[in-house]
Amino acid sequence: MRLFPALDICFPPASPDLIDLVTALIDDFAPAAIHETGTEDAPEWRVFFGQAATRDNAAGAIEASLEGRGLTLIPVDVPNEDWAARSQASLRAVRVGRVLVAPPWDVPRDPGVDTAIIVIQPSMGFGTGHHETTRLCLSLLQEIDCRGARVLDVGTGSGVLALASAALGARTVDGIDVDPDAVANACENLGLNPSLQDGAAICFTATDLRAGVDVDLQHSDRADIVLANLTGALLVAAAPHLLGRVAEGGRLILSGFQHQEAADVLGAFARETVLVAHRTEGDWDAVLLLATV
């Protein structure tokens, strides 16, 4: 049985500033997923990492920077069945506009006319359509004419946004993620949607856009549509790299940030984009930007 390295983080009550600081610190270690529990006043997180050494380094960085602030950090190794198979076995299909995201056990027989079905196997990459940030991205993606477009999905996770782009008519789709396990899940999900490969060239790769590695896109260095469902701090840090990959006149869809982070995220992209749409759901924001340079 495979074990997933994770870090349980318990916050002291009424500490929104501490949550922001921890978020910024763990972003540097490319967490694979964050499972939020506890209460709104005193949240608890289970943060998953690709490697145990990465988790331990993240814990050390948090302790060094925030010692004495009342955080509790507990490294754990989580069996896959304990958090993926069990907790997600009850998931059902989710519809966002024309797009219906379904686990393999809840694919509808008659989804209706003009419905784009994406089958997603819940795993480390999450991206089942149940989180607000995924739904916001799927909604904004349908505000764009994807037909014939070149798409880059940064932090692809389960590949749900990349696959939705293909279902909506994209010609080439590149999904990248720093976590090889997420890419493996995205490739598995590609196999569950064989019809999408008839109309689009779809490729998933494990790489980090920020690491200075040359990311080769299919047929072009720049994409017509760049998707990035990350975190606020990571979007700000990755802004130059994301802007460097979108074609002039192309679109960026950004999500994964909360209301209090919106100004910083928009500011990081302001000089080279125009805001087209800004949507919120729950505590989360997403924006559609037009690239002007």
Burial of 50 (0-12, 13-18, 19+ CB in 10 A): buried
Kindly report, residue by residue over 38-51, the tens digit of the pLDDT: 777 788 888 888 78
Structure tokens at 5: 């390295």
Report the alpha-carbon distance of residue 160 to residue 137 in Å, rounded: 10
pLDDT at 204: 95
Q: What is the pTM of this model?
A: 0.76
Q: Is the pLDDT of residue 85 over 70?
A: no
Closest CA to 138 of 106, 101, 105, 103: 101
- Taking only the tens place, the pLDDT of each residue in 147-161 is 999 999 999 989 999
Is residue 41 exposed (0-12), middle (13-18) or buried (19+ Cβ within 10 Å)?
Answer: exposed
pLDDT tens sequence across 218-270: 666 899 999 999 989 889 999 999 999 999 999 999 999 989 899 999 999 99
Q: What percent of the chain has pLDDT over 90?
A: 52
- Give the type of residue at 84: A
CA dist 260 and 280 (Å) reads 12
Residue 106, helix vs strand vs coil:
helix
Residue 200: both structure tokens together: 């689009």
| Domains defined for the chain, CATH in brackets | 3-85 (3.30.70.600), 91-291 (3.40.50.150)
Look at residue 103 and tell me whether its pLDDT is greater than 60: yes
| Helix residue ranges, H only, 158-199 | 160-167, 180-191
- What pLDDT does residue 123 have? 67
Q: Across residues 17-34, what is the average pLDDT?
A: 81
